[in-house]
Structure 1
Amino acid sequence: MQLFSTFFINKRSIFAKFLQIRVSSSIYAAFGEVMEYFIPQETVIFEEEIKKSRFITYLCHTDGMEQAKAFWAEIKALHPHARHWCWATVAGTPTDSQQYGFSDDGEPSGTAGKPMLNYLLGSGLGEITAVVVRYYGGILLGTGGLVKAYGGGVQQALLQVEKQRKVLRQNYRLVCEYDQFNTLQHLIAEHDIVLLEQQFSEKIHLTLAVNPNELERFSQQITQRFAGKLVLIDAENLANHS
């Protein structure tokens, strides 16, 4: 996790850009299980001063709750003299509420972690953690001021996030003849499939990471091209086919 890029915000288009982020990041939505979504590519840092209090917002990719907590601890270690280190996370897929978390870290209840989490959820991103560090400036902001400061810091940092697509692939096994391999390679390339492993013996044994959105079409193509001679086997159920 790299923490050394500071970004500055063009405030005139904040709302429009935030809506754009929300729409473009929501293509993961599908009927049933989430199959793909966007995650942050790099760490973002946004800093502002509000009534003499200094607020520093960090956004980072964190895969799972353990990484999220480790990131919070890392930021706290970077700022040992701050007053608060509030955080929020969507540590897994954007729709997995079991991977949501937040903390007000000593601020009045509901004024920091929850508004931070709301902006993370609104972005549609997964595997993301926000930590907002506050250096107290001696002036009380009030409940509304704190909500605006903590939530607003995350909102503005989100505008600078570079995103990358993550696909939750499923592993399958396939055994083919040598004279079938070239045709099969073309099908693999056409259907957004990753070839994880290939073993050459009397036949060729392949392990494939398949995009669930492509599974049905890929299976149909295999059946049509090879007259039903090839069988795509779910790697998790491989024992049932041995």
Structure 2
Amino acid sequence: MSRLSYKTLASGFEATGIYEDRRSRFIAQLTHIVSEDEANDYIAGVRARYHDARHNVPAWVLSDGRERCSDDGEPSRTAGMPILEVLHGAGLADVCCVVTRYFGGTLLGPGGLVRAYTAATQIALMDAEKNNSLVEMRLVTRVVLSVPYTRYERICHMVSDSGGKIVRSDFGAEVLLAMDFKSGEEAAFVDALRELGSGDLVPTVEAPRFDTF
């Protein structure tokens, strides 16, 4: 995956945005998801909540690159794709947005529909920002290392100097450290370990993963 970071919503928070045009009412709902099944469950829940609405238009993006959208009966590319483009433009992933439309009796035309679905999604995004519910996820690499007590403080300084952070310290016969780095920055720390030790400081570098940092 090429991306090094993305934004998502805090788990358990639902952002909302309401936009009206010529008596048509567009209600955007935006939430955190981590799988296609979660997206489908959320979409089904919104459709049940607004069962009397003419359209419930979904779009979702996962951090692994999978994404999907539907126009749910609106003219092609006037509803789902505009929602998806807002999510892309904001750098969001692991999110699902459903925009519910109550028809107001006046046709808005393709341009009007694109503007309305875009605006409702943008308002929901603003609601998430206002509630401090946007979370940045970064590609993080964990390094695990066992160090003797005589080198513990020195290693702690090296972690800090390399831009990392110690997330766990287990004190036994030696100190077992778990340290997180922004992916790519762990290399400088590993190189510094080689210079410090004589082959006795052997780190385990785990596979990169997305996490807060």
The TM-score, its normalising length taken from structure 1, stands at 0.72
**1:193 alignment partner AA:** G
Counterpart Cα distance in 1 of 2:20 and 2:140: 43
Amino acid at match of 2:7: F
- 2:174 counterpart (184, 189, 203): 203
**Cα shift at 1:212:** 0.8
1:155 aligns with 2:126: no
Shift of 1:145: 2.0
Aligned-partner Cα distance in 2 for 1:90–1:173: 32
CA contact (8 A) 1:47 1:55 kept: yes
Q: Of 10, 21, 45, which residue of structure 1 is paired with 2:16?
A: 45
1:101 Cα deviation after fit: 0.9
Could you tell me how far 1:115 is from its partner in structure 2? Answer: 1.4
Among 174, 193, 196, which residue is 2:145 paired with?
174
Aligned equivalent of 1:216: 187
Q: What is the Cα deviation at residue 106 of structure 1?
A: 1.8
Matched, 1:111 2:78: yes
Distance 2:102 2:86 in 1: 22
Q: Identify the residue that residue 36 of structure 1 maps to in structure 2.
A: 5
Query: CA offsets, 1:159-206, max 9 Å, x none?
Result: 444233212222332121121122222333444435454444433333
Which runs of 5 or more structure 2 residues have no equivalent in the other structure? 208-213
Bigger RCO (CA 8 Å, 6+ sep): 2
Q: Deviations for 1:52-91, whole angstroms, at most 9, x for unmatched residues? A: 2111012222233233223222322322221211011222
RMSD over aligned Cα, in angstroms?
2.5
Of 50, 65, 77, the residue aligned with 2:48 is 77
Measured after TM superposition, the shift of residue 47 of structure 1 is 0.7
Aligned residues: 201
1:11 is matched with which residue? none
Q: CA deviation at 1:141?
A: 2.0
User: Aligned partners of 2:87 and 2:28: how far apart in 1?
Assistant: 13
Q: Distance in 1 between matches of 2:163 and 2:95?
A: 25
Identity %: 31
Q: Which structure has more strand as a fraction of its residues?
A: 2
CA 1:192/1:166 → structure 2, altered by over 3 Å: closer, same or farther? farther
Q: 1:78 to 1:189 in 2, by over 3 A?
A: farther
C-alpha distance in structure 1 between counterparts of 2:162 and 2:127, whole Å: 32
Bigger drift between 39-48 and 110-119 goes to 39-48
TM-score (norm 2): 0.80
Question: Is the 1:64–1:92 contact (alpha carbons within 8 Å) kept by the matching residues of 2?
Answer: no
- Closer, same or farther in 2 for the Cα pair 1:50/1:38, shift >3 Å? same
Contact 2:30-2:96 at 8 Å conserved across structures: yes
